[in-house]
Homo-oligomer: A and B are copies of this chain.
Amino acid sequence: LSLKGNLLVGQAGGPSSVINSSLYGVIEEAKKYDQITGIFGTIHGIEGILEEDLIDLKAQSQEDIEGLKRTPGAALRACRYMLKSSEPDDDDIMRVYEVFRKYNIRYFIYNGGNDSMDTANKIYKAAELMEYDIRVMGVPKTVDNDLEGTDYCPGNGSSAKYLATLVRESALHNESMYTSEPITVLVTVGRNAGWLPAACALANNGKDEAPHIICFPEVPFDKDSFVNKVKKVYDTVGGVFIITGEGLTDKHGSYVMVKSGDVATDPFGHPELGAVGDYLKNLLEERLKLKTRVIVPDISQQAAMHWASATDIEYGELAGRTAVSAAIEGFSGFMPSIRVGKDNTTYNELVELETVANAERRVPDSYINREGTFVTDDFINYIAPFIQGDVKLPMENGLPVYTRLKRIPVVCK
User: B-contacting residues of A (Cβ < 8 Å)?
Assistant: 11, 14-15, 44, 47, 71-74, 77-81, 161, 164-166, 168-180, 202-203, 205, 267, 293, 295-300, 302-307, 309, 384, 387-390, 395, 397-402
Contacts and interface: CB of A to CB of B under 8 A. Distances in A.
Nearest to A396: B205
Contact of A72 (B80, B173, B395): B173
Given A80-B180, A161-B399, A203-B399, A173 B306 contact: no
Nearest to A80: B180
Given A387-B398, A398-B389, A399-B202, A78 B169 contact: no
Given A80-B177, A165-B399, A175-B77, A298 B300 contact: no
Interface centre among A170, A388, A389 (most CB of B within 10 A): A170
Contacts of A295: 298-300
Contacts of A79: 177, 179-180
Nearest to A16: B173
Contacts of A402: 168-169, 172
A227 B298 CA distance: 25
Contacts of A173: 14-15, 72-74, 299, 302-303
Given A78-B177, A205-B401, 18 more contacts: A44-B178, A44-B179, A73-B171, A77-B178, A78-B176, A80-B177, A165-B399, A169-B300, A169-B305, A170-B299, A173-B299, A203-B399, A293-B298, A295-B298, A297-B300, A300-B300, A309-B398, A387-B399
Contacts of A398: 161, 202, 309, 384, 387-389
A174 B299 contact: yes
A79 B181 CA distance: 10
A131 B402 CA distance: 61
A241 B319 CA distance: 32
Contacts of A161: 398-399
Of A71, A179, A202, which is in contact with the most chain B CB atoms at under 10 Å from its CB? A179
Contacts of A176: 11, 15, 73-74, 77-78
